Amino acid sequence: MKYVNFTDEEKIKMFDEISEHFYNANFGQSSKSDIELMMFNFYIQKMINQSRNPDNTIDYKKCSDYKISKDLGITQQKIRNLKVKNQLVNPIEYDWKAEFAKLVDKAKIDNGKIIVSIPDPNLYYEIENFIEEMDAYIEKQLNNKILQLRVEYFLDLVIALEPEQSRKEIRKKLKENYKKSGKDNSVFDENNIGKSLLEGAVNVTAIVSNLSSAFSPSNAIAKTFLKLIG
């Protein structure tokens, strides 16, 4: 079964692009890897477009590494490498926050950690970069599709996605709840909430139990997170 079939119009457009690399006094100047990446870009663009949900997010089940590897006859690891390389050269636009929110809906909690399966390497790197910019960190796994993050750091991530005014209000309430839980809020760092909650050994579920109304309706990840820990 072929997962991608190009129309005649698409084939004409692709040949025009290929011919630019060969028939303008530049025959043979493109390397094998350049041509492979170009052909992969044609394929992945089509695959992603036909895997879009009505809300423009991507249904990763329809464009899995497994299905692509069956179509192209190469390993899933090579598929992932090509995805990363292609995104650098021919970026595909997507809203990583919206994509992440849908995946978090299927996340699990185990031993104080939220575990989410991230099927696309580019999405994984976007999330990882955002988390690292907050001075938090992801716990690396042998399975490079698994994102594992302490609940405390995940809360930090959720708050960081809020508008500035909402962030201030949420941090203020968190600090108040931190004190109510019997902790010394003078050591509570509003700019590093995850670390403060970890060092204070605070029950995250209890401390955020009355904060649901403080998060903005547009923060889909916050809604899913609160549901997950609740």
Query: Is the separation of the CB atoms in 2 and 23 below 8 Å?
Result: no
Q: What is the DSSP string of 105-137?
A: TT-EEETTEEEEE---HHHHHHHHHHHHHTT--
> Residue 148 is inside which H or E element, if any?
strand 146-150
Residue 10 has pLDDT above 80, yes or no: yes
Q: Which residue has the higher pLDDT, 109 or 195?
A: 109
pLDDT tens digits along 124-178: 999 888 888 877 767 777 788 999 888 888 888 888 888 777 878 888 777 777 7
C-alpha 127: how far from its chain's center?
5
H helices of 90-219, in order, are 96-104, 121-133, 151-160, 164-180, 193-199, 204-208
Residue 218 one-letter amino acid = S
**SS3 category, 4:** coil
Which pLDDT score, from 0 to 100, does residue 1 have? 66
pLDDT band for position 123 (cuts 50, 70, 90): very high
pLDDT tens digits along 168-217: 888 877 777 777 777 766 667 767 777 777 667 777 777 777 777 778 88
Residue 117 has pLDDT above 70, yes or no: yes
**SS3 category, 212:** helix
Q: How far is CA 66 from CA 22, 69, 147, 157, in A?
A: 32, 5, 19, 30
Query: Is the separation of the CB atoms in 143 and 154 below 8 Å?
Result: no
Which pLDDT score, from 0 to 100, does residue 81 have? 95
C-alpha angle 175/178/182, rounded to 5°?
Answer: 140
pLDDT tens digits along 25-84: 888 888 999 999 999 999 999 999 999 999 899 999 999 999 999 999 999 999 999 999
Residue 103's CB is within 10 A of a number of other CB atoms, namely 20
